[in-house]
Amino acid sequence: MYKIGIIGDGYTAAELVRIIAGHEDLQTVAVTSTDNIGKGLAEVYPHLRAFTDLKCEATDVEVLKRRCDAVFLALPHGLSVPLVKELAGAGVRCVDLGADFRLKDSRIYEEYYELVHPAPEMLDQAVYGLPEIYREQIKNTQVVANPGCYPTSAILPLVPLLAAGLIEPRGIIVDSKSGVSGAGKALKAGSHFCEVNEGFRAYGIGNHRHGPEIAQELGFAAGVPVDMVFTPHLVPMNRGILSTCYCQLRDGATPGQVREALEAKYAGEFFVDVLPENIFPHTKWVYGSNLVQIGIHVDQACGRVILVSALDNLCKGASGQAVQNLNLMLGIEESKALRFAGIHP
């Protein structure tokens, strides 16, 4: 039984506790907080009452080193690096759900997060935590940078086509919609009920922090920098992301090759479901699950490829994927505690 610590007590932390409660090989032994120190976690999240009696505690790295085999860091950007340096240096495996290790170029991190990265030398050591793409590297690392929710929804459908040379690496458009839980638990004017309910808006236009993360991974797949536009939208639902990706078919490529490339890439993947022709995903189909579903449309007459993906931003977009990564890091069967269907209706 591996002892697990969770640094942070937001929505992703609660989702981690929920998943680990059904995991035979993991036991949550610590949840740390700044606002709820001394409170029972079940006081903060009553839906966990039957599953945990842990109390939120202050973050003490020395205590975590002694008590934990692995730690999830569910913190805002800029806070994970010093903790990961100490914990990983002591042999504790770390999965960071924040942004501090996702971008390989510290200059881009500084531009988009307005912080000087305190340990740029660690960026090459951390593995980007998309198991369907970096599985073998994840198995052998001490630090995983868990991907953002929007990037997961865009990278998984696009990478196989770029790697196969079937679509152009320019003119890619990623149009994404997310539920409000993606903004986190902290109170913000833009996520108040009366601001969100019966409304629909774009935000972060041209400068959202997940844009360079998507571009980085698409560029690695293409072998050249990509020309890409990413626009996120906020929709009045609790959980879920729907991304529609538009790209141009390369000369000589066919619709059949597009489908074959995606089906071949994900044929053995439990958590990526390439849907049959003319079926496109719905966020309700993956609600509460660690699944991402992908629908495909190719218009050969104009050479346009449209890919639609859906996932739960708190599960495959965050905590479920984090557990998937830790399973690989610890040599546990990858899908353990994650083989559950979405909740529908």
Which residues are catalytically annotated?
Answer: 149
Q: Are 94 and 71 in contact (CB under 8 A)?
A: yes
Helix-strand-coil split of the chain, %, nearest 5: 35, 20, 45
- Which residue carries 């202050």 as its tokens? 58
Most distant CA pair in the chain: distance in Å? 63
For residue 188, count CB atoms less than 10 angstroms from its CB and return exposed for 0-12, middle for 13-18, buried for 19 or more.
exposed
Q: Which residues contact 71 (CB under 8 A, 6 or more apart)?
A: 4, 5, 6, 7, 64, 83, 87, 92, 93, 94, 95
**H/E run at residue 69:** none
Q: Which residues contact 146 (CB under 8 A, 6 or more apart)?
A: 95, 96, 97, 129, 318, 321, 322, 325
Mind spelling out the 3-state secondary structure of 266-313? CCCCCCEEECCCCCCCCHHHCCCCCCEEEEEEEECCCCEEEEEEEECC
